[in-house]
């Protein structure tokens, strides 16, 4: 459905999320992969995904990838745990040979390793309600460590607080984190997966609360490692010209599209990326519905 694999090394990586959270993946991609260009799609009009059903989230993701396929990306990254959990398995079947990456498998793999082999090893996962309900992390971790102790906690207050611009020093955020993490700490977790791409923004506060002995796994960074490996395997890493401007982690390598309120996105994005961005381009959701219709009629055999 989404077209064949693009074999041009210099084509961009298409990254999508419900809002700002996927920018933590973009930041990791830009810093780990110096030659790459990224096109980012934040579905801000329809956020949050974390409280929606599999059918709805899958339909949204399919529309966005359909729209994005016009830029002929060499790789599509679902930089949202909720969408990776609910939509990626089905969407992969429609993706043909296109390289598709998500955040759950790399996060689960890293957690299974970090937890160690001690029989008391206990992995905690915090994520949106939909990700927890999908059992995606539970299954992905159990595939690697069948007997590890696992505690999974939905943390629905965190995304709205982060999208509102609150940080880890905010007393309301601190209180919510303590409430969510205390029961896991009481049961002795030694590894904690940040199972939502928004959460790395709170890493310092989370690490402070769980203490230095708990390994905190950032699924966004692990996802960027995975993309690097897969592009390299496919011989699709961008050739990084000897051009220092190319190597800088800045807005020149990134274009952003959102479905609502580009100004707000532009204002908040630097907190996720560490640099200022150009004004995002608005793509109203009805354009996405139209993208599907147009492609469907293109695919229909002519009478
Ligand atoms: N960033 C998304 C994730 O990784 C959650 C945001 C939302 O609920 O839309 O799960």
131 touches ligand 1 (CB under 6 Å): yes
> Which atom of ligand 1 sits closest to the CA of residue 17?
1
Ligand 1 centre to CA of 17 (Å) is 7
Residue 18 has pLDDT above 90, yes or no: yes
Ligand 1 centre to CA of 131 (Å) is 9
Q: What is the mean pLDDT of residues 266-282?
A: 95
Rounded Cα distance between 225 and 229, Å, is: 6
Q: Does the active-site annotation cover 196? A: yes
Q: What is the mean pLDDT of residues 211-221?
A: 94
60 touches ligand 1 (CB under 6 Å): no
Q: What angle do CA 275, 217, 247 make, to 5 degrees?
A: 35
Q: What is the mean pLDDT of residues 187-208?
A: 96
Contact predicate 88/57, CB 8 Å: no
Polymer length in residues for the chain? 303
**Helix 285-299 × helix 54-68 angle, to 10°:** 70
Rounded Cα distance between 119 and 149, Å, is: 9
pLDDT confidence of 242, banded at 50, 70, 90?
Answer: low
Q: Does the active-site annotation cover 75? A: no
Q: Please tell me the residue having the least CA distance from ligand 1 atom 2.
A: 80
What pLDDT, on a 0 to 100 scale, did the predictor assign at position 246?
A: 47
Query: Count of CB atoms within 10 A of residue 211's CB?
Result: 8
* Type and span of the H or E element at 38: strand 38-42
- Pair of tokens at residue 194: 């940040």
Q: What share of residues in the chain are helix, strand, coil (percent, to 5)?
A: 50, 15, 35
Residue partners of 39: CB distance under 8 A and separation at least 6: 12, 13, 14, 15, 68, 71, 73, 254, 255, 256, 257
Which pTM value belongs to this model? 0.91
Contact predicate 13/37, CB 8 Å: yes
What is the percent of the chain where pLDDT is above 70? Answer: 91
For the ranges 127-136, 242-251, 287-296, the one whose mean pLDDT is highest = 127-136
What pLDDT, on a 0 to 100 scale, did the predictor assign at position 149?
A: 96
pLDDT in tens, 119-155: 999 999 999 999 999 999 999 999 999 999 999 999 9
What pLDDT, on a 0 to 100 scale, did the predictor assign at position 303?
A: 36
């Amino acid at each position: 459905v989404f077209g064949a694999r693009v074999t041009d090394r210099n084509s961009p990586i298409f990254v999508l999320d419900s809002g700002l959270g996927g920018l933590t993946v973009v930041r990791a991609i830009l810093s780990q992969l110096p030659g790459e260009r990224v096109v980012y799609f934040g579905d801000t009009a329809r956020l949050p995904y974390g409280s929606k059903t599999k059918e709805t989230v899958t339909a949204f993701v399919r529309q966005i990838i359909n729209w994005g396929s016009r830029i002929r990306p060499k790789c599509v990254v679902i930089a949202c745990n909720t969408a990776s959990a609910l939509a990626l398995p089905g969407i992969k079947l429609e993706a043909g040979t296109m390289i598709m990456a998500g955040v759950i498998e790399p996060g689960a793999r890293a957690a299974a390793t970090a937890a160690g082999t001690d029989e008391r090893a206990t992995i905690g996962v915090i994520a949106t309600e939909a990700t927890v309900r999908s059992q995606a992390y539970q299954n992905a971790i159990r595939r690697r460590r069948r007997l590890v102790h696992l505690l999974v906690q939905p943390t629905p207050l965190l995304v709205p607080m982060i999208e509102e611009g609150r940080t880890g020093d905010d007393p309301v955020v601190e209180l919510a984190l303590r409430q969510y993490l205390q029961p896991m700490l009481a049961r002795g977790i030694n590894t904690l997966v940040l199972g939502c791409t928004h959460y790395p923004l709170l890493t310092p506060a989370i690490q402070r609360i769980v203490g230095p002995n708990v390994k905190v796994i950032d699924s966004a960074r692990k996802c960027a490692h995975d993309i690097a490996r897969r592009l390299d395997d496919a011989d699709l890493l961008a050739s990084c010209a000897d051009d220092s401007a190319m190597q800088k982690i800045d807005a020149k390598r990134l274009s952003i599209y959102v479905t609502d309120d580009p100004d707000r996105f532009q204002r908040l994005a630097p907190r996720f990326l560490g640099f200022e961005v150009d004004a995002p381009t608005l793509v109203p959701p009805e354009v996405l519905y139209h993208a599907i219709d147009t492609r469907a009629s293109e695919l229909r055999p002519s009478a």
